[in-house]
Amino acid sequence: MALLKLQTQQFRNLAPVALSFSPTVNLIYGANGSGKSSLLEAIAYLGLGRSFRVNRHEAVVRHGSPSLTVFGEVSDNTEHSDAPTPLKETHRIGISRDLGTRETRLKVDGERVRNLSAVARHLPVSVIDPGTFDIVTGGPGKRRQFLDWSVFHVEHGFAALWQQFQRAVSQRNKILRNGRIDESLLRIWDSQYIALAEQVTGARRRVFEQFQPLLESVIADVDVAWSGDLKFEFFPGWDRKADLADVLMSHRDQEAKMGHTLYGPNRADVRVKYQGRPVAETLSRGQQKTLVILMKIAQGQLLREHGRQCTFLLDDINAELDEAHRQMLAGKLRDLGSQVFITSIEPPRPELLWRDPMPDFKVFHVEHGDFTEE
Ligand SMILES: Nc1ncnc2c1ncn2[C@@H]1O[C@H](COP(=O)(O)OP(=O)(O)OP(=O)(O)O)[C@@H](O)[C@H]1O
């Protein structure tokens, strides 16, 4: 999968022109405030349905405009197991949001679709920007998000399962929030909640078990001194030795006091330890960054094993990574055959990122939201 064309309307400061990208490498450069990050943000908007920089949709709509539209054409090289050769087709995907009516319109190949997942599945985007490094330094939520992104792209039906699960959580929370708990009603929702929690956990565990050996081999490949003492573990969100039903039963009072669900997939984590202690406490900032890059690469490999390709968006990596790390990342992404977008303030020097073989690339210069291909 690769984004071949993009057109935006009223998206931050981006001019409404149609851009055609390389399915391999796209190098975007321009001064501070010119629109580099906004372009990556618009691409990610199609693949995630939201901004990777801000939580409020209002922030990305051009100041003074009532709505935005992002439209893209993607190549789909999904390998169908029953097809003699990979099928290559293109799909047109679009998202528009109206701030006034709060309406979101989603389209795939000209047809309206209801769920964001129907759009997002066509463009798996993986962002590497200064915020990405929170995957190891931040709380479990970041790591759940990281794992679930793979699960969404690898496990068919996960998006629908996740929605059902969230509905069960919110019903259960409503009952727990009610001063006097209706035990019989809670029991009904508990059984739904437990069944869905087991399914969510099963999907996560299956994907984690495929991801872990890929990550270990990517780490072994770069041969860093600290790699031998790293351990990765999937934590489902409750004590694995106990049944979730028993855990809920024995913590009834605690949950009632807090007024919400405390055990289950919403507490899951991918625990990463170095010499038995969390990496955030033990590895240096530089080592943590290397680790996150390797996790992202392993995630790209995982998708590729499932016949899907990620589009990587590298924003402002010059500020975060030294030249050796940039080369390592760029080389691995080339070997993965992924589409890559890289932003920089200075004119790009691809010869510093790749020696033999140099991938095909396009260079774009941006000024005041206007992109020119060079
Ligand atoms: N909603 C909006 N409507 C219009 N313009 C906006 C909006 N949000 C941000 N901008 C402006 O868009 C411009 C581009 O911002 P962007 O973050 O994409 O720049 P950049 O090229 O990545 O800069 P830097 O190198 O400093 O990170 C900025 O001048 C910013 O003030």
Which atom from ligand 1 is nearest to the alpha carbon of 343? 22
Q: Kindly state whether residues 3 and 141 are assigned to the same domain.
A: no
Give the list of residues 6+ apart from residue 215 with CB closer than 8 angstroms, or none.
Answer: 232, 294, 295, 298
Tens of pLDDT, residue by residue over 154-212, are 998 999 999 999 999 999 999 999 878 888 888 899 999 999 999 999 999 999 999 99
Which atom from ligand 1 is nearest to the alpha carbon of 315? 22
Whether a cis peptide bond, with omega within 30° of 0, leads into 278 is: no
DSSP label of 347: P
CA-wise closest residue to 297 among 219, 351, 363: 219
Beta bridge pairs of residue 93: 72, 108
CATH value at residue 69: 3.40.50.300
Per-residue model confidence (pLDDT) at position 84: 52
Q: Kindly state whether residues 231 and 352 are assigned to the same domain.
A: no
CA-wise closest residue to 119 among 71, 53, 55: 71
Strand order across the beta sheet in which 67-76 lies:
19-20, 2-9, 67-76, 89-98, 104-108, 111-113
Q: Kindly state whether residues 13 and 65 are assigned to the same domain.
A: yes
Q: Kindly state whether residues 75 and 88 are assigned to the same domain.
A: yes
Give the list of residues 6+ apart from residue 227 with CB closer than 8 angstroms, or none.
Answer: 219, 220
Q: Which tokens sit at 288?
A: 């943590």
Q: Which of 307, 329, 348 is the last residue of a domain?
A: 307
Q: Kindly state whether residues 360 and 264 are assigned to the same domain.
A: no
Tens of pLDDT, residue by residue over 228-259, are 789 999 999 999 889 999 999 999 889 989 99
Q: Kindly state whether residues 289 and 341 are assigned to the same domain.
A: no
Q: How far is the CA of 292 from the centre of ligand 1 (A)?
A: 26
Give the list of residues 6+ apart from residue 289 with CB closer than 8 angstroms, or none.
Answer: 133, 320, 321, 325
Q: How far is the CA of 141 from the centre of ligand 1 (A)?
A: 27
Q: Is 231 left (phi over 0), alpha (psi -120 to 50) or beta?
A: beta
Per-residue model confidence (pLDDT) at position 181: 80
Q: Is 261 exposed, middle or buried (0-12, 13-18, 19+ CB in 10 A)?
A: buried
Q: How far is the CA of 19 from the centre of ligand 1 (A)?
A: 18
CA-wise closest residue to 92 among 178, 6, 12: 6
Indicate if the pLDDT at residue 88 is higher than 70: no
Amino acid at 80: H
Question: Is the ipTM, as predicted for this complex, more than 0.95?
Answer: yes
Give the CA dihedral 229, 235, 241, 246, nearest 10 degrees: 160
Tens of pLDDT, residue by residue over 114-170, are 999 999 999 999 999 988 999 998 999 999 999 999 999 999 899 999 999 999 999
Q: Kindly state whether residues 302 and 224 are assigned to the same domain.
A: yes
Q: Categorize the per-residue pLDDT at 77 as very low, low, confident or very high, splitting at 50, 70 and 90.
A: low
Residue 362: count other Cβ atoms within 10 Å of its Cβ: 17
Say whether 35 sits in a helix, a strand or coil: coil
Per-residue model confidence (pLDDT) at position 294: 94
Tens of pLDDT, residue by residue over 286-333, are 889 999 999 999 999 999 999 999 999 999 888 888 898 899 999 999
Q: Which of 277, 307, 337 is the last residue of a domain?
A: 307
Annotated binding site for ATP: 30-37
Indicate if the pLDDT at residue 81 is higher than 50: no
Q: Kindly state whether residues 6 and 115 are assigned to the same domain.
A: yes
How far is 357 from 251, CA to CA, in rounded Å?
A: 58
Paired sense of beta strands 339-344 and 125-128, if any: unpaired
How far is 371 from 348, CA to CA, in rounded Å?
A: 15
Q: How far is the CA of 12 from the centre of ligand 1 (A)?
A: 7
Per-residue model confidence (pLDDT) at position 226: 81
Q: Which of 307, 342, 361 is the last residue of a domain?
A: 307
Total domains in the chain come to 2
pTM: predicted TM-score of the whole model, two decimal places: 0.94
Q: Is the CB of 35 under 6 A from ligand 1?
A: yes
How far is 151 from 12, CA to CA, in rounded Å?
A: 31
How far is 220 from 214, CA to CA, in rounded Å?
A: 10
How far is 348 from 36, CA to CA, in rounded Å?
A: 13
Q: Kindly state whether residues 301 and 316 are assigned to the same domain.
A: no
DSSP label of 262: -
Per-residue model confidence (pLDDT) at position 87: 55
Q: Kindly state whether residues 92 and 209 are assigned to the same domain.
A: no
Tens of pLDDT, residue by residue over 340-372, are 999 999 999 999 999 889 999 999 999 999 999
* Half-sphere exposure at residue 140, Cβ-oriented, CA atoms within 13 angstroms: 12
Q: Kindly state whether residues 241 and 342 are assigned to the same domain.
A: no
Q: Categorize the per-residue pLDDT at 80 as very low, low, confident or very high, splitting at 50, 70 and 90.
A: very low
Indicate if the pLDDT at residue 85 is higher than 60: no
Q: Is the CB of 68 under 6 A from ligand 1?
A: no
How far is 71 from 64, CA to CA, in rounded Å?
A: 21
CATH value at residue 221: 1.20.1050.90
Indicate if the pLDDT at residue 98 is higher than 90: yes
Amino acid at 84: P
**Containing domain of residue 286, as a range?**
129-307
Q: Kindly state whether residues 135 and 110 are assigned to the same domain.
A: no
DSSP label of 358: P
How far is 286 from 225, CA to CA, in rounded Å?
A: 13
Indicate if the pLDDT at residue 79 is higher than 70: no
Which atom from ligand 1 is nearest to the alpha carbon of 366? 21
* Integer CA distances (angstroms), 134 to 49, 131, 265, 285, in order: 21, 6, 20, 11
* Integer CA distances (angstroms), 142 to 146, 149, 187, 225, 231, in order: 6, 11, 31, 26, 18
CB–CB of 356/2 below 8 Å?
no
Q: Is the CB of 318 under 6 A from ligand 1?
A: no
Q: Is 151 exposed, middle or buried (0-12, 13-18, 19+ CB in 10 A)?
A: buried
